[in-house]
Amino acid sequence: MTLVVISNRVARAKPNEPMTGGLAAALLPVVEKSGAIWVGSSGRVRDGQQREPFAQIESLGRGALALLDLPAAHYGGYYEGFANSALWPALHSRSDLIRVSQDDYDSYREVNAFMARALLRFQKPDVTFWVQDYHFLALGAELRKLDVKNPIGFFLHTPWAPHNVMSGVPHHRELIETMLAYDLIGFQTDEDCENFAGYLTLELGYTVKNGMVRSHFGLTRLAAFPIGIDVEGFTAQAMRAISHPDVSRLRKSLHGERLAIGVDRLDYSKGLLNRIRAFDRLFETQPSLKRTVSLLQIANPSRGSIEAYGNLQCDLAQLVSDVNGRHGEVDWTPIRYLNKGFSQTTLAGFYRSAHVGVVTPLYDGMNLVAKEYVAAQNPADPGVLVLSKFAGAANELTTALIVNPHDIDGMARTIGMALAMPAPERRLRWEAMMTKLRAGNIQHWFESFIATLESTRDITQPAPEAPRAGRETLGRGGAVLQWQASTALH
Q: Cite the active site residues.
A: 157, 364
Site for ligand G6P contains 201 (CB under 6 A): no
For ligand G6P, the closer CB: 179 or 415: 179
**Long-range contact pairs involving 192-198 (C-beta distance under 8 Å, separation at least 24):** 192/156, 192/159, 192/160, 192/224, 192/365, 192/392, 193/160, 193/222, 193/223, 193/224, 195/159, 195/160, 195/161, 195/162, 195/163, 195/166, 196/160, 196/222, 197/222, 198/162, 198/163
For ligand G6P, the closer CB: 294 or 300: 300
Calpha distance 171→77 (Å, rounded):
15
For ligand G6P, the closer CB: 158 or 294: 158
Question: Which x/- pattern over 130-149 shows residues binding ligand G6P (rule: CB under 6 A)?
Answer: ---x----------------
Q: Please list the alpha-helical segments (H only) found in 35-180.
A: 72-76, 88-91, 102-119, 139-145, 163-166, 172-178
Site for ligand G6P contains 308 (CB under 6 A): no
For ligand G6P, the closer CB: 302 or 333: 302
Total residues at interface with ligand G6P (CB under 6 A): 12
For ligand G6P, the closer CB: 12 or 476: 12
Site for ligand G6P contains 21 (CB under 6 A): yes
Site for ligand G6P contains 157 (CB under 6 A): yes
Taking the complex as a whole, how short is the minimal distance between the CB of residue 303 and ligand G6P, in angstroms? 5
Taking the complex as a whole, how short is the minimal distance between the CB of residue 192 and ligand G6P, in angstroms? 13
Among 42, 201, 302, 404, binds ligand G6P (CB under 6 A): 302
Taking the complex as a whole, how short is the minimal distance between the CB of residue 245 and ligand G6P, in angstroms? 26
Taking the complex as a whole, how short is the minimal distance between the CB of residue 212 and ligand G6P, in angstroms? 26
Calpha distance 66→395 (Å, rounded):
35
Taking the complex as a whole, how short is the minimal distance between the CB of residue 78 and ligand G6P, in angstroms? 12
Which single residue brings its beta carbon nearest to ligand G6P? 21
Give the up-direction half-sphere exposure of residue 353: CA atoms within 13 A in the CB hemisphere: 30
Of 392, 343, 362, nearest to 272 by C-alpha is 362
Taking the complex as a whole, how short is the minimal distance between the CB of residue 6 and ligand G6P, in angstroms? 11
Site for ligand G6P contains 303 (CB under 6 A): yes
Question: Which x/- pattern over 378-397 shows residues binding ligand G6P (rule: CB under 6 A)?
Answer: --------------------
Instruction: Name the DSSP class of 210.
Output: T
Give the Cα-Cα-Cα angle 164, 211, 195 (nearest 5 degrees): 15
Mapped onto helix, strand or coil, the DSSP state of residue 366 is coil
For ligand G6P, the closer CB: 40 or 405: 40
Question: Which x/- pattern over 87-126 shows residues binding ligand G6P (rule: CB under 6 A)?
Answer: ----------------------------------------
Task: For residue 60, report the phi and psi dihedrals to the nearest 5 degrees.
Answer: -145, 95
Asked if residue 432 lies in contact with residue 399, where contact means CB atoms within 8 angstroms, the answer is yes
User: What is the chain's length?
Assistant: 490
Taking the complex as a whole, how short is the minimal distance between the CB of residue 343 and ligand G6P, in angstroms? 16
Taking the complex as a whole, how short is the minimal distance between the CB of residue 387 and ligand G6P, in angstroms? 17
How does 229-239 read in b/e, with b if 16+ C-beta sit within 10 Å?
bbbeebbebbe
For ligand G6P, the closer CB: 45 or 239: 45
Element (H, E) at 28: helix 22-34
Instruction: Name the DSSP class of 199.
Output: H
Question: Which x/- pattern over 1-20 shows residues binding ligand G6P (rule: CB under 6 A)?
Answer: --------x----------x
**Long-range contact pairs involving 110-114 (C-beta distance under 8 Å, separation at least 24):** 110/71, 110/74, 110/78, 111/70, 111/71, 111/74, 111/75, 111/78, 112/136, 112/137, 112/138, 112/139, 112/142, 113/138, 113/142, 113/145, 114/48, 114/53, 114/70, 114/71, 114/74
Site for ligand G6P contains 23 (CB under 6 A): yes
Site for ligand G6P contains 158 (CB under 6 A): yes
Question: Which x/- pattern over 251-290 shows residues binding ligand G6P (rule: CB under 6 A)?
Answer: --------------x-------------------------
Could you list the residues that contact ligand G6P (CB under 6 A)? 9, 20-24, 133, 157-158, 265, 302-303
